[in-house]
Structure 1
Amino acid sequence: MMYQPEQDIDDLISGYIHAPHDPLLQEQIDVFHSEGPEQAAYLESRLAAWLAEGVPVQEGSTSFVIPSSSRRVFNRKWLMTAVVLIVAAGVLLYFYRQAPAEQIQYVNNTGHVDTLLPAPGCTVITDRGASLRYPAGFTANPELYMEGGNTWFEVALPVRLRMQLDEHTDLYTLNAVFTLHKTNTLFKILVIKGKVTLLQHNGKKVYLTANMLAKRERHQPLQFKTVKSQSLLAWKTGRLAFRDTPLEEVIDALNSYYHLDIQVPPSAAGLYKRNLTADFENRSAEETLALLQRALKVPLVKDSGNRYYITLK
């Protein structure tokens, strides 16, 4: 069955045609284009049809005198021609943005923290094992896809950075400092300075400022809140001493620093109401797990690899 758009989709495309340089419309068009092949084909056919029909044919040059009564009509005609050409350029820019670009793949295999400079004004500090990719023309097209690991971003760009966090969420910022933790099943982002915008594929936006954390687990809605500590940065700072700190923030720190995957299942979610005072610094992962179990006085069960579950029995 041929794709049948709703009226608001047609209104969105019409709005983009008339204002292709509007950042919000660009974001919404990108979201619609990425929803599926039928949506992408419909959007591209609408834009192509507009280009075919909307650009006026240039007439041959002829010397003539414009009667004074016709000058206003003439001026309006050429004003409309200029508007059409500007919009056509915007539509062509859209197709250019959709064209695949050469990607640079980066993986931190150094065994220690490393620094990456994709372009002036964008510093990325990566934990060991972190991986990401970005286009070769990052300066003109600052886009980045985070694949996994812990990273620190310091961004001060003239063009807005776009980062794909998962299949449902994109990040946008011009000027911010933040850290990101990404696995196959979730992402967490903590803003240290500035502001970032999270655009969800349903069109909803979330604005994050300093000391705000957002996370999304697979098949779960986006969550965000203000946090007491910068525990998600433990992999970079090494700070593992906590005083009356929410358990979830403590677990974030231990997971990032020791590359663990400590989880609290729904049956034990009540533990998140607890605060913890403990010092895990200068300890091995095994010593830390044992100390955490003693501090919580609940079982800590190993699943597989580096994954552990905190349970109530």
Structure 2
Amino acid sequence: MKISTAHEPEDRQPETAAGHATRKQRDAEKVGAALDTHRDALKTMFPVPSSRAPRRKRTAAAGTALAALLAAGLWGIDPAYRSEHFVTQIGERSTVELADGSRLVLDTATELTVQWHLRSRRVVLADGRAHFDVAAAIWRPFTVDAGQTQVRVVGTRFDVWRRPDGTSVSVYEGKVAVWRKDRKNAQIVLLPGQQAEVSDVDEAQALSRADIAGDTQGAWKDGRLVFLDTPLTEALAVIQRYHRAPIRLADAQTGRLTVSGVFDSRNTDQLLRLLPGILPLQVERKADGSTELGAR
């Protein structure tokens, strides 16, 4: 299908601000109309979970869609034509299979949106942590937007954990480019066994790289929490993500204790009961269901 546009006179007057806004609105409407017209063909050409077309039919539809997109000028601006939203509750872990062959594992209390674009695959991680096993597609890169943190890959395995003060990215296979949204020229490349910490609050340590310490990062996918001389305050912050009722420390001094061990994230009540056998602590369950940890 060919989409034609009217030619403007060669001696046109300079465009005013109002005229520019009107033209932008017309262009946006044209893009939306073209997407609506070819949405079914786009789903066939760029797979989403609902697409199950036979290969021969898919190839023919792809050719028609590509010709229409080129004629409409949509290929260059990479518009989105479908999005999928996924959420896990506290204590829940979920696996998502995408139609392009990618596999996502969502940790507890995680929210993300998968956006299908013509020339890219994009994920917006609003909260929590996810593991990405990305199917390779050189011409269609896979990106993750986690607030200030930006991640770009072609095909690889990695985690992205978005926290209130920043984001960590851990790579297990392939290569991953990571940068802060406001500092794209300062991006770093992570190799297997490396991780990046991106701070949203500390400008001096905005982006740093280190080796992954043991199995502390990827164990969560198997329902394990691994702590290696971790300050109790940090360990409890991780445990709290899997525990609905509040967990509190009676005093700051108690929070300076360190904990090591492997625990089951699916039974945080038992984990809290085990802590007094590991550290000089007493655990008290309050009437409101909260748990308080203090020195013994």
With the length of structure 1 as denominator, give the TM-score of the two structures.
Answer: 0.51
- 5+ residue gaps, structure 2: 1-19, 25-69
Match of 2:142 among 161, 167, 171: 161
The answer for the alignment partner of 1:196 in structure 2 is: 176
The amino acid that maps onto 1:222 is: L
The answer for the alignment partner of 2:130 in structure 1 is: 151
Match of 2:210 among 213, 222, 225: 225
- The question of 1:177 aligning with 2:162 is answered no
For this pair of structures, how many residues does the alignment match?
A: 213
Q: Deviations over 1:291-313 (max 9, x none)?
A: 557645589999xx99999999x
Measure how far apart 1:105 and its partner are: 2.0
The answer for the alignment partner of 1:259 in structure 2 is: 242
Match of 1:214 among 196, 200, 224: 196
- The question of 1:239 aligning with 2:221 is answered no
User: Where in structure 2 are the equivalents of 1:96-111 lying within 5 Å?
Assistant: 96-97=77-78, 102-108=82-88
Distance of 2:289 and 2:199 partners within structure 1: 18
The amino acid that maps onto 1:141 is: S
Distance of 1:249 and 1:227 partners within structure 2: 20
CA 1:284–1:135: 2 relative to 1, 3 Å:
closer
CA 1:95–1:174: 2 relative to 1, 3 Å:
closer
Q: Deviations over 1:55-102 (max 9, x none)?
A: xxxxxxxxxxxxxxxxxxxxxxxxxxxxxxxxxx9xx779613x5655
User: Where in structure 2 are the equivalents of 1:66-145 lying within 5 Å?
Assistant: 96-97=77-78, 102-108=82-88, 112-137=92-117, 140-145=119-124
Measure how far apart 1:110 and its partner are: 11
Distance of 2:167 and 2:221 partners within structure 1: 17
Distance of 1:110 and 1:283 partners within structure 2: 10
Distance of 1:237 and 1:162 partners within structure 2: 25
The structure with the larger Rg is: 1
Distance of 1:153 and 1:287 partners within structure 2: 30
Distance of 1:163 and 1:121 partners within structure 2: 17
Measure how far apart 1:263 and its partner are: 11
Q: Deviations over 1:201-233 (max 9, x none)?
A: 212111112222222343122233112222233
Measure how far apart 1:184 and its partner are: 4.0
Distance of 1:300 and 1:217 partners within structure 2: 33
Identity, % of aligned pairs? 17
Distance of 1:93 and 1:204 partners within structure 2: 30
CA root-mean-square deviation: 4.7
Question: In the alignment, is the contact (CA less than 8 A) between 1:123 and 1:154 conserved in 2?
Answer: yes
Q: Deviations over 1:180-214 (max 9, x none)?
A: 22244432222122211102221211111222222
